[in-house]
Amino acid sequence: MRLRIVRRQRRGASIVVCAVLAAIAMGPLGSSDTRAQAATGEAAFHPVTIARDLKHPWSIAFLPDGDFLVSERDGGLRLVHDRKLESSAIAGLPKAYAEGDGGLLGLAIHPYFRDNGLVYLCLSVGTFDANASSVIRGRLSGRALVDVKTILGEGPLWDVEEQRLYWIDSFGCNVFRATADGREVRAWDVPAKIGSMALRRRGGAVLSLQTGFHFLDLKTGDCTLIVDPEPDKPTTRLNDGKVDKRGRFVAGSMDTMEEGPNGSLYRLDPDLSLHKLDQGIVVSNGPCWSPDGKTLYFADSW
């Protein structure tokens, strides 16, 4: 008896992963049934649906405990645990470019996965104008891929109460958290390129994303739009930001091509009102305040 995994397209664009058991009846050696099956190549197949509604499942890799991972071409990595598809994707993956022939394609498990937890992925990264295939390696920890080399790691932020370090991957569209010695790594996926983050006193975080200011719920991973200050500027995105002593989040935008003074500097107040502080900036970076909190400094990197 052997186990073979196949992809099958069902009516209504519902995609399933099936386990097919191909069993050849094994009678006494040389029995007439066995000889007949060997001559005709016939076998009994018993399809069993394992997972539905995957987004173009591409590769499958089994883990030592019998669970398995499925890569989705659109960029998701899913775990099938105890023959059931988990509702949330594995967190911590860089954003895949899934247009044309691109996407999250290859998937492989390290031969010593039981000891090191390493997973290898082949995916396309970049944009329509500039994209390439990349192979990344990460360690599967719980329901997140950690120790992944970030594309653009930035914004380290220390939480005194939690005693945890937060940081972001601007182009990978991730928020990370770890202990000071690099243990207990947790990752959250965000829906767009991220420029900066700030922690909230009541829990969660405020993010400056390409598509505006957002709340991030650190318990559920949900991202909720607060306000997009530049919905009519497709070539800009929010970048670096910091919080002052009064809890106001100051973040600036940048020209994504770094060519023209199309960016601005904004202040998001605790009541969620938004104020423009400056404009005519190419790449807004590095906001900080004088020790008395009366003077704001920031840089235009270009």
Per-residue pLDDT of the chain (302 residues; tens, 9 = 90+): 333 444 444 433 334 555 544 433 333 434 444 444 445 555 566 777 777 788 888 888 889 988 989 988 888 999 999 888 998 899 888 888 888 778 888 888 888 888 778 888 888 877 666 566 777 778 888 888 876 666 677 888 999 899 998 989 888 788 988 887 767 778 888 999 999 999 999 999 999 999 999 999 999 999 999 999 999 999 999 999 999 999 999 999 999 998 899 999 999 999 999 999 999 999 999 999 888 889 999 999 98
**Structural domains of the chain sorted by starting position, each given as residue range(s) with its CATH number in brackets:** 1-53 (no CATH), 55-149 (2.40.10), 153-302 (2.120.10.30)
The Cα–Cα gap between 237 and 208 comes to 9
- Sheet with 2-9: list strands edge to edge: 2-9, 15-23, 44-52
User: At which residue do the structure tokens 């394992």 appear?
Assistant: 50
- For the chain, the maximum distance between any two Cα atoms, rounded to a whole number of angstroms, is 93
**DSSP at 298:** E
The Cα–Cα gap between 40 and 66 comes to 33
Asked whether 180 and 169 are in contact (CB, 8 A), the reply is: no
The Cα–Cα gap between 186 and 162 comes to 13
